[in-house]
Structure 1
């Protein structure tokens, strides 16, 4: 199942040249993985068993929008301050953002955050069974 990343209209022109729009700014859940793409800026594929939990979250405005790489393994793909979720990993994951990085928490702004959380939890439950 696909979940588009929420991007505010003011940010779209800045991200368009980086191909971070439409289907290239989305999260796909299926086949035992969560795959995330944010144009040419970010790509990651995570096995469901590597996800500790997924929760609603917030992103402070002063941390900025777009691809954000922070201390302690925090990575944000933030196109809006609304609909933010955080994927917490049980150990650091290797991502390409645009250079290799270790990610412990991945923040995403999504159009359907609750649907995403429910889908990941259901997929993880089915994979564990």
Structure 2
């Protein structure tokens, strides 16, 4: 059962958030892009393998996503498989994160140069490519 996808889709609909789901070929391309640019092509999108990552603890990171200067518009999660959404703006993404239960997630900015992973240990992994 794709429990995260279901929960996220329900909140998107309930809050009329403007977003498009990234699916199939586009999703595979996005995951390949992340692997190549942020994980060194290792084929494993585990946070342990993020390259050039600054790691720090911030239990409230998820509350301040919209306050960052980066325009985070991509949300990626994994349950039985990968799911991704592209939001019209970071405010919609912030609203969704505020309304859903705690889960680990990846954020990618609109330029696709900044990747953030936020896990269940409150550790933020922040990586940027040139």
TM-score normalised according to structure 2 size = 0.32
Which structure has the highest strand share of the two? 1
More helix by share: 2
What is the TM-score when the length of structure 1 is the normalising length? 0.33
Q: Bigger relative contact order, structure 1 or 2, given CA contacts below 8 A and separation 6+? A: 2
